[in-house]
Amino acid sequence: MTPLLALHGVRLRYPPGFTLEVEALAVRPAEVLAVIGPNGSGKSTLLRVLGLLERPEAGEVRVGGRAVDAREALAERRRMATVFQEPWLADTTVVGNVTLGLGFRGIHGEVAARRAARWLERFGVAALAGRRARTLSGGEAQRVALARALVLEPGVLLLDEPFAGLDQPSRTALIADLAAVLREDRVATVLVTHDRGEAQALADRVAVLIAGRVRQLDDTARVFQTPVSEEVARFVGVETIVSGRVLSRAGGVTRVEIGGRTLEVAAAADPGARVRLAIRPEDVTLTLPPEQGGGSSARNVLRGAIARITVTDAGARVVVDCGFPLVATVTPRSLGDLGLVEGMTIAAVFKASAPHLLPGLAPHTP
Ligand code: ADP
Ligand code: MG
């Protein structure tokens, strides 16, 4: 399958300290590829290079498998559409904004109006067609910007933090609407974001960019469940990363000693090996300890004192001292039902399949 758009051996420096270095990155037909990473990791720079807005010092941008030279860049750029964090609308009506790009491509009148109306409808802003763009709310403006990009039927849609400026309800609603559009129309899309939740909601594949380099590129679920390194694990939301020693391996279960406790883990490792375990907070549940009526069939039930509770949007983040700090996320409901308070003894429960072994340590260190 020839990728639609690809980077090969790309290098670009911003003195004094930043270098983008991408061996290979390909956008496949019909996929949503998210590029995630912390602020300053080079995501916008990478997107500008992909979008032929900035030339790398070394390497190639390939369209349909062929390197694009400077003369062809403008024509190729016209086959892409970009939406940025700031919607950047022209000071005219909503429908005027959406038909503007069509006009540049020689599509006018009835045909242009029909296409514009259809895309405004799909983004739920058809009723705003006659409004001046500058009177729109942030969420409405971003919907218009997306309609204006998609009406051009681009070969590739490039999105740079398109939801970052929006408040929570409009952000969530727009992510859901865009997900529906992309699912139906299968427009190849590159989504750049520092928000891993957006990547989980929208992307088929995820590239993790840290300090100008792609550290992992894989199917979305695999990146989140099996990060290749501690820095990727931290970025994709793994909170517990602990070192332990393998005690035994039998019947598909590896027993690992960590902080004086024994954990049962599905991942394979040899007895005696030192390992690093990564555990996602949403894979850990809290229950009352067995003597207080709590029970679980999960492999791992660790008693510990609650060291810290931090209330978040989605409930709470709870750190349990199990001989090592184990982080769990709990819903507001279980926070209340269990009467969780700092200092109380609780059971932290997770399946043998929850911990992921991070590569990197020598497999047979005595
Ligand atoms: P991100 O989008 O991941 O936040 P950027 O691609 O915007 O990161 O920036 C990566 C690094 O390059 C940052 O250190 C930034 O300050 C620097 N940078 C970005 N654009 C320029 C530029 N035009 N000139 C010089 N430095 C830049
Ligand atoms: Mg950026």
Helices (H), the chain: 43-50, 70-77, 94-104, 109-122, 138-150, 168-185, 196-202, 220-225, 230-235, 332-337
Long-range own/partner contacts, residues 101-108 (CB < 8 A, 24 or more apart): 101/148, 101/151, 101/152, 102/151, 102/152, 105/78, 105/152
Residue 361, pLDDT > 90, answer no
- DSSP assignment of 65-106, as one string? TEEPPHHHHHHHHTTEEEE-SS----SSBHHHHHHHHHHHTT
For residue 239, the number of C-alpha atoms closer than 13 Å in the C-beta half-sphere is 15
Residue reference for tokens 């983004």:
123
Angle between helices 94-104 and 109-122 (to 10 degrees): 130
Q: What is the pLDDT of residues 14-64, one digit of tens each?
A: 999 999 999 999 999 999 999 999 999 999 999 999 999 999 999 999 999
Q: In this structure, which residue's CA is closest to atom 18 in ligand 1? A: 14
How much distance in Å is there from the Cα of 163 to the middle of ligand 1? Answer: 19
How much distance in Å is there from the Cα of 97 to the middle of ligand 1? Answer: 29
Question: Which structural domains are found in the chain, ordered by start?
Answer: 5-235 (3.40.50.300), 240-357 (2.40.50.100)
How much distance in Å is there from the Cα of 40 to the middle of ligand 1? Answer: 6
Q: What is the pLDDT of residues 159-211, one digit of tens each?
A: 999 999 999 999 999 999 999 999 999 999 999 999 999 999 999 999 999 99
Binned at pLDDT 50, 70 and 90, residue 298 comes out as confident
What is the pLDDT at residue 365? Answer: 43
Contact between 205 and 31 (Cβ < 8 Å): yes
Q: Give the residue, 363 or 159, on which the prediction is more confident.
A: 159
Residues with CB under 6 A from ligand 1: 14, 18, 37, 39-45
What is the pLDDT at residue 364? Answer: 46
Percent of the chain with pLDDT over 70: 98
- The total of other beta-carbon atoms located within 10 Å of residue 37's CB is 24
pTM: 0.93
Tokens standing for residue 84: 């940025």
